Amino acid sequence: MAAREDMNRHGIGMTSQRTRERLLERLFEEGIRNLHVLETMRRTPRHLFVDEALSHRAYEDTALPIGHNQTLSQPYIVARMTELLLGGGPLDKVLEVGTGSGYQTAVLAQVVERVFTVERIYPLQERAKETLKAIDVRNVVFRHSDGNWGWPQYGPYDAILVTAAPAEVPVELLNQLADGGRMVIPVGQHEQFLTLVIREGDAFIRQQVEPVNFVPLLAGAIRS
């Protein structure tokens, strides 16, 4: 009874609990093997990051609109990017560019020490802040600005995750990556590839992981 009340309080009934389990099975079938990531996605309430009218679709493995012409990434992509970022071991400071709904931020914040997240659209950032507070994720700091410039004040970062696609990896982000650090970023205009960049001193080793389809990384911050 207590568990059921708890689930209702979070606006989710038994049916969606089953849908959530199915999503986890699907992520595993698609090749996600990091148990920490899978477990985190199991307990992160994705339905709270979309409009109520869309919440019944929150545990499908699809991208969903979040307003302002932006989308919340498909769960598989969130899992894959987080897994790639963690590939080198535990992470302390992580920079995220493109907070959006805050769902990827929430997953990330539960598997690393601290997240510094940057978003250019102010209302999206405000909403993400509220949602993260509601689910008690506290190790995140937010900045409203153009993420092409990173967040130099707290760098260098052990890892950088970018959730919008530039034509080329922004130089400032490379500069703010610590030695040995990892960046996961979709790169390309017409054809995009999820790319893993590992810094070794002054060298940046790149690996194209798989084709993806992200919204573009745009320039400048906007208020509304």
Contact footprint for ligand SAH (CB under 6 A): 66, 70-73, 97-98, 100-101, 103-104, 118-121, 124, 146-148, 163-164, 215, 217-218
- Tell me which residue of 215, 183, 190 sits closest to 91, measured CA to CA: 183
Q: How far apart are CA 139 and CA 28, in angstroms?
A: 27
Q: How many CB atoms lie within 10 A of CB 27?
A: 22
Task: State the catalytic residues.
Answer: 73
CB of 33 to ligand SAH, least distance (A): 21
CB of 200 to ligand SAH, least distance (A): 27
| Nearer CB in complex with ligand SAH: 98/155 | 98
CB of 172 to ligand SAH, least distance (A): 11
Contact 103, 132 (CB under 8 A): no
Q: How far apart are CA 80 and CA 30, in angstroms?
A: 10
CB of 26 to ligand SAH, least distance (A): 18
Q: How far apart are CA 61 and CA 73, in angstroms?
A: 9
| Nearer CB in complex with ligand SAH: 83/146 | 146
Q: How far apart are CA 6 and CA 73, in angstroms?
A: 27
Q: What is the DSSP letter of 46?
A: G
- Return the residue matching tokens 């059921």: 4
| Nearer CB in complex with ligand SAH: 54/215 | 215
| Nearer CB in complex with ligand SAH: 171/205 | 171
